[in-house]
Structure 1
Amino acid sequence: MDPCFLPATRLAAMIAARAISPVEVMEAVLARAERLDPLLNPFALRLFDAARAAARAAEAAVMAGAPLGPLHGVPITIKDSVAMRGLPTGNGSIAVEAPVAAADAAIVARVLAAGAIAIGKTTLPEFSHKVLTDSLATGVTRNPWKLDRTPGGSSGGASAALAAGIAPIAIGTDGGGSIRCPAACTGVVGLKATLGRIPNEAMPDGFANYAFAGPMTRRVEDTVLLLSVMQGPDPADPWSLAPRPAMGPAATVRGLRIGWIEQFGRYRTDPALLGPLRAAMQALASAGALVEPLSDPCFEDVHDTYRVIATTAHAARLGAIADTAGERMTESLRASIAIGRGWSAVEAQRAHDRRSLLFRAVQRLFTRFDLIATPTLLAPPPGLDAGGSIATAWYAEWAAPLYPFNLTGHPAASVPAGFTEDGLPVGLQLVGPWYGEERILAAAAALEEVIGCPVPPET
């Protein structure tokens, strides 16, 4: 029994039952991290010594019969764009000195209060501006399935560590696919929950928010557990304050109406993905889902809207840094800022209006369907130098199924759907109505029974 590949749910139960020690779990995970860190480069900041001390304290609490949280003693990684008290928030940048966080982000406080132990902060491209993971600050992060391929981004350090058995759960963020893209690239589960279900109080514009924090895991059951810990209102996030249904028991797949989008908008899905994706949809149909092909014009040219909103945000929030940093800022991020500075206020407002039209069109789809299924990405994980900035035509095509649901706020998850003939993971995206996470996770669990949870051969 290798604790590095046990689900977080089982680890927590075994720790509580004194069947395994938090120290034993931590030493196994950190030994693996030490061995694979030079190969994969998933960490922006190691917290190994602090994690060992926390594991000893967790063991003492178990032995003393103290109350234990649902994640007691379970290792976790945190993306280096999420604040942890007393630590720098690096954001993959050398353009500006990393600020030291005065307090934990709400989601960090919640997972730590539940007993999880952070082992490190994971890598990302500079300020999460692209869907590959490399930066001037930390270098290149690699995919454990094939080291010459990207683990996706921007939560690429999280996905690489998860797939390789370095901690069973992770916190990522998703402003245009940055949880779901790396989940698909490495064969793990990544959930972007309904807007506001998990608070993101760090967003400068809380009302026009399209960026999410969320769980990344190797197992669907761990997604359920981590979501239950992370969710809930926070006074600094207006969307989190809306009443919402509590997480209920997993729904059944039988009878779920699933609209299957094989070709997304005007973009074409790489034939290498179609075999695994079609087999995944057949598996859901065999489990009792009612699968129907879906094509809708609402998904045409969404990148035109997303590009205005996202690059305007880059210009407003990072433009002053770019002006002084010069070549110390990633060239593709400087290019995005320049594009954002070119939009007028009228063009920006029109983009936000189109965002609302897209939301309403997707809402109409959910009068016909319980879930929408799409390829997570339209091609396999590319090489390490493919680019990937959210302002580019390449991103617009490769990640076409992702950014529309950042704009609409609907919950969406990437779940493993098999492998290409070359052995690269394939992701299936499941999208639900607002607060439809239980439906998504039920379908994901049914698919996991068929696909399993394989281990990368490189590790």
Structure 2
Amino acid sequence: MSDILDKSARETLAAFAAKSLSPVDYMTALIARVEASEPKVGALYAFEPERSLAEAKAAEARYMAGAPKGALDGMPVTIKELIAVKGEPVPLGTAAIDLVPAEDDAPTSARLREDGAIMFAKTTCPDYGMLSSGLSSFHQLARNPWKLSENPGGSSAGASAAGAAGYGPLHVGTDIGGSVRLPAGWTGLFGFKPTLGRIPIYPYYTGRAAGPMTPTVDDAALLMQTITRPDWRDATSPAYEPINWDVAPADVRGMKIGLMLDAGCGIDAEPEVMAAVQAAAEAFAAHGAEIVPIAPVLSREMLDGLDVAWRARFWGMMEALSPEKRAMILPYIREWAASGAAASPVQVAQGFDQTFAMRKTAAEAFQKVDAILSPVNPNVSYPADWASPTNDPIRPFEHICFTVPWNMGEQPACSINCGFSASGMPIGLQIVAPRFQDAKVFALAKAYEGWRGPITSWPRYDRELALA
């Protein structure tokens, strides 16, 4: 039965509609996989099998009557813990937050519910979503299914772990500096950060986006049809336009594509990462694109300024807590934010202004090229119990230098697997396009995915258990 879980979302939904597969049978198989895998993977929060089976039975009845609720009726989806689902607490990954059930669905979960998706679980994240790690003072430790001693990245840690472990094909994370793309890169998934506001999100903030994390580009395209529908609560959203996300693979002949191998600061890309990304660029060249080396868009001043502004912002949140509650926050995060108390108002304002400096250089980069390729993550992997690749709260953002400029510049960007290290860990290629050209990212990613071929070696712990 577990084989049905490895079909694409479209194949599964087509089988539901044809009555050749029951949503109940699919959910039963998914529950069995989760229960066999979760003791090792640690991806989920608020996993509710009984409710999910009841929703699957209701979806089955609708399909039998020929009246499905919507485009995703009966399809299981996970939602990152930071995204509110009515009736579920939003602990923000930290033990310091009181568990109060959300009064309403956030925009993403509202759209999924409208289309009949079964939000069978939420996925784990670190304290306040401020780590590229599955380390949390509240949630269990999320691990990378490809190698359980390694980190799945973050802050959409549970989403990446769930996607790689095969908890169905559809998962939604959030990204303010790389939190969809970074974990997708470290776990082999396709992760997409849209133009700011393209997927309505609430609460919104400078650079914050929601995005799909899926095994294939096509699975993400299916999700985009639902979660991009408008919601008035996101005041950053552009005017809604119905986009055809089922784009054909891009014809790259004559395209000028930038290749950025130097992030400008932070951790240098490791040799295996550089080699994989260069090989991907060569594939674009072999199909007719002109590859143009380009300079970084980020500087040390920009990264450090953002760090100061974020430290002050999060310390303001923590300062409102009682000393007892504050002591429950992950020490790494507490130490990182505490130095924000010493920043002067001028330093905080100057730091926040660096978001606009990034916006300027990110826009300038597209005056000479149609798209940009780069690494997603500079390193191959790091231990599961580390808070970040440096594991140093004094240098917390050295690994986000390829990803964070596109949050501040608002450009659409994705991570797509472009190979594996000698140790068997996935390596991510980032594809970036100008603002509002989200469909171009999908077209380029679909082209590259076709040249690369499918990933056939996804880790499956339920099968290992069955064979033991």
Say whether the 8 Å CA contact 1:431–1:440 is kept in structure 2.
yes
CA distance in 2, matches of 1:347, 1:302: 13
Say whether the 8 Å CA contact 1:319–1:337 is kept in structure 2.
no
Match of residue 210 from structure 1: 207
CA distance in 1, matches of 2:60, 2:411: 40
Say whether the 8 Å CA contact 1:92–1:138 is kept in structure 2.
yes
Match of residue 226 from structure 1: 223
Letter aligned with residue 306 of structure 2: Y
Letter aligned with residue 262 of structure 2: Q
SS in 1 for 2:320: helix
Distance change (3 Å), C-alpha of 1:17 and 1:274: same
Distance change (3 Å), C-alpha of 1:242 and 1:343: farther
CA distance in 1, matches of 2:394, 2:445: 30
Distance change (3 Å), C-alpha of 1:154 and 1:17: same
* Worse overlay, 96-105 or 293-302: 293-302
Counterparts in 2 of 1:239-254, with a 5 A limit? 239-242=236-239, 246-247=243-244, 250=247, 252-254=250-252
Counterparts in 2 of 1:83-162, with a 5 A limit? 83-162=84-163
SS in 1 for 2:321: helix
**Post-superposition shift, 1:394?**
4.6
Letter aligned with residue 387 of structure 1: A
CA distance in 1, matches of 2:26, 2:343: 51
Match of residue 170 from structure 2: 169
> For each residue in 1:249-296, what CA deviation from the matched residue of structure 2 results, as whole angstroms up to 9, or x when unmatched?
526242332111112113421112222222222222223332211114
Structure 2: runs of 5+ lacking an equivalent? 462-468
Match of residue 27 from structure 1: 28
> For each residue in 1:97-154, what CA deviation from the matched residue of structure 2 results, as whole angstroms up to 9, or x when unmatched?
1221011111101012112111111111111111111212223111110010011111
Say whether the 8 Å CA contact 2:229–2:240 is kept in structure 1.
no
* Worse overlay, 122-131 or 250-259: 250-259
**Post-superposition shift, 1:40?**
0.5
Distance change (3 Å), C-alpha of 1:431 and 1:390: farther
Match of residue 443 from structure 2: 442
Counterparts in 2 of 1:47-86, with a 5 A limit? 47-86=48-87
Letter aligned with residue 18 of structure 2: A
Distance change (3 Å), C-alpha of 1:248 and 1:82: closer
**Post-superposition shift, 1:43?**
1.0
Say whether the 8 Å CA contact 2:141–2:385 is kept in structure 1.
no
Match of residue 454 from structure 1: 456
Letter aligned with residue 357 of structure 1: A
Match of residue 263 from structure 1: 262
Counterparts in 2 of 1:181-200, with a 5 A limit? 181-200=182-201
Distance change (3 Å), C-alpha of 1:394 and 1:147: farther
Q: TM-score, normalised by structure 1?
A: 0.94
SS in 1 for 2:280: helix
**Post-superposition shift, 1:94?**
1.4
Say whether the 8 Å CA contact 1:170–1:215 is kept in structure 2.
yes
* Worse overlay, 140-149 or 248-257: 248-257
CA distance in 2, matches of 1:421, 1:102: 48
CA distance in 2, matches of 1:210, 1:28: 37
Distance change (3 Å), C-alpha of 1:274 and 1:296: closer
Say whether the 8 Å CA contact 1:299–1:404 is kept in structure 2.
no
**Post-superposition shift, 1:455?**
3.2
Say whether the 8 Å CA contact 1:378–1:397 is kept in structure 2.
no
> For each residue in 1:183-205, what CA deviation from the matched residue of structure 2 results, as whole angstroms up to 9, or x when unmatched?
011100111111111111223xx
Q: TM-score, normalised by structure 2?
A: 0.92
Identity across matched positions, percent? 33
Aligned residue pair count? 455
